[in-house]
Amino acid sequence: MKLKITWQDSEKEMEIKASTVGGLLKELKINPEIVLVSVNNEIVPEGSAIKENDFVEILKVVSGG
Amino acid sequence: MNCACGSKAIYTRKYEGNSYCAPCFKDQFEKRVKKTIREHSMVGKNEVIVVGLSGGKDSSVSLTLMKKIFGSRPDVKIIAVSIDEGIEHYRDKSLDVTKSLTQKLGVEHYIVGFKGNLGKSIDDIMAAKAAGTKNLNSCTFCGVFRRYLLNRAARELGATKVCTGHNMDDEAQAVLINYLKGDLKRLARMGPMPALRSNDKFVPRIKPLRNTPEKEVALYALISKTGNYWGECPYVSGIRFEVRDFLNEVEAKHAGTKFSFLRTFDAMLPVLRASVENAPEITECENCGEPCSGEVCKVCELLDKLGVDVTKQEALVHELVG
Ligand code: SF4
Ligand SMILES: [Zn+2]
Ligand SMILES: [Zn+2]
C-alpha cells in the first residue's frame, strides 16, 4: 500500500508491505528505540495499524550535544 | 490498543508491557521523576538549584518539572544557566528556545559563553582542526569546558545543587564508556548521587531524569508541548555515539536491557567506591585553583593545548536574560 512518510527532513510517498507501525519501522530498518511515530498527526504505539494513504511522521528522538 | 483507563494508547512501555494514553503517561512519568528525587534525597530544605538548560528536550523537561514540583516551595529557588559553546546554526538556535522557555516559566536565567570566559568557542576549535593545526575532538573540549563553566556559574550564583537533564540512556552510555576505557575512578564518581569524596568548590549534581529512558523524555516533551529544540550538533562524533547505537540495538531485541544495566551498576557502586577509596584526594589546580584530582586540572590542560592562558581567576562573564 501507499503511505506518505516524513523521515529526517524529507517527505516521500512509499510502497509499504507492513500493516503496523512496528512493521513499518522494521521494513525501513529504523530502530524503534530511537524514534516516535505519529500517524495522521497523532502519536501512536508500535502495535498500531496503518492503512492506505496514512500520513506517517517519524521523529528521531535521540540527540547529540 | 488501549490504556488501562480505557482511552486510546499513544505509547507502549515494552519493558513492562503496559500501554498508556497521553494523560496517564504524563502522570506515570512525573511520578517516576518525583520518586527518583525522593529516593535519593536530591532536594532538601533551603536549596538554590541551578538547572543547566541547553534548550534540548532533556534539559527543557528537567527545568519544566523542577519548576512544576518545587515552584511553590518558598525555600527552594530555581535558576536556569545556559552554556553557550559557540556552535553556529545549532547553539544559537537552541538558546533562542531557552529564552522563551524561561520567560514562559518565569525563571531567572543566565547565559555563560565559552568565548567570553575561556577565549575559544567550539567553532574556533573546530576551525583549527579543519586547518590542520590541531587534531582535536570537539566533544572532549565541549564536555570538560561545559561542566567547568556550569559548576563555576552555579557556585557564583550561590547554588546548593546543579541539576542536569541526563536521562537513563545518557547514564547507561557513560557507564559503558567508562567500562570500555577502564576508567574505574570515573565510574566510582558516577551514580545517582555524588561520590563520597568531594570538594567545597564542586556544587553537588542531581539528575532527576536518570531513571527515564530518552524516548520517554522525548514523548513527555512532545505531549506537554515543552517547546524545545530538536536539532543535532553538527560536530557529533566519538565513541559515545557508537555506544548509544549499540545499546539501542540490544534494547530493541531485549527490552529492559538499559534498565537492568544501570540497576546492576548502581548495585555495584558501593563496592566499587570502597575499592577506589585509596584514590588521591581531590586537590586544587595549581594553575586556576579549581578542584581536580591531579596537579593541573583538565580544563587548564586542554586550554594549554589551545594556547590559551587561564592563570587569572576572575568572576565569570554572564548575560542575564530573564
Ligand atoms: S556533540 Fe560534542 S561538540 Fe556538539 S554540543 Fe555535544 S559535546 Fe559539544
Ligand atoms: Zn489512560
Ligand atoms: Zn585549572
SS (H, E, C) chain B: CECCCCCECCEEECCCCEEECHHHHHHHHHHHHHHHHHHCCCCCCCEEEEEECCCCHHHHHHHHHHHHHHCCCCCEEEEEEEEECCCCCCHHHHHHHHHHHHHHHCCEEEEEEHHHHHCCCHHHHHHHHHCCCCCCCHHHHHHHHHHHHHHHHHHHCCCCEEECCCCHHHHHHHHHHHHHHCCHHHHHCCCCCCCCCCCCCCCCEECCCCCCCHHHHHHHHHHCCCCCCCCCCCCCCCHHHHHHHHHHHHHHHCCCHHHHHHHHHHHHHHHHHHHCCCCCCCEECCCCCCEECCCCCHHHHHHHHCCCCCCCCCCCCEEECC
CB pairs under 8 A between A and B: 62
In chain B, the percentage of residues whose pLDDT exceeds 70 is 94
Comparing CB atoms, the residue among A47, A61, A64 nearest residue B12 is: A47
Grade residue B273 by pLDDT with cuts at 50, 70 and 90. Answer: confident
Q: Which helix (H) or strand (E) segment is A25 a member of?
A: helix A21-27
Full-model pTM? 0.92
Is B230 in Cβ contact with A47 (below 8 Å)? no
**Residue with the three cell numbers 538548560:** B53
Residues A55 and A28: beta-carbon distance below 8 Å? no
DSSP category for residue A34: G
ipTM above 0.85, yes or no: yes
Examine the pLDDT at B196 and tell me if it is beyond 60.
Answer: no
DSSP category for residue A35: E
- Residue of the CA atom closest to atom 5 of ligand 1: A65
Q: Which atom of ligand 1 is nearest to the CA of B236?
A: 1
The mean-pLDDT minimum among B77-86, B229-238, B252-261 falls in B229-238
Of the listed ligands, the closest to the CA of B296 is 3
Grade residue B201 by pLDDT with cuts at 50, 70 and 90. Answer: confident
Does ligand 1 lie within 6 Å of residue B288's CB atom? no
Does ligand 1 lie within 6 Å of residue B139's CB atom? yes
Distance B36 CA to ligand 1 centre (A): 27
Nearest to B128 by CA among B140, B137, B116: B137
- Residue of the CA atom closest to atom 3 of ligand 1: B139
Neighbour-count burial for B147-185, b at 16+ CB within 10 Å, e otherwise: bbbbbbbbbbbebbbbbbbbbbbbbbbbbbbbeeeeeee
DSSP category for residue A20: B
Does ligand 1 lie within 6 Å of residue B229's CB atom? no
The pLDDT tens digits of the residues spanning B130-152 come to 777 666 788 889 999 999 999 99
User: Cell digits for B79?
Assistant: 535558576
Is B57 in Cβ contact with A63 (below 8 Å)? yes
Q: How distant, in Å, are the alpha carbons of A12, A14, B199, B211, B231 from that of A6? A: 6, 10, 50, 30, 16
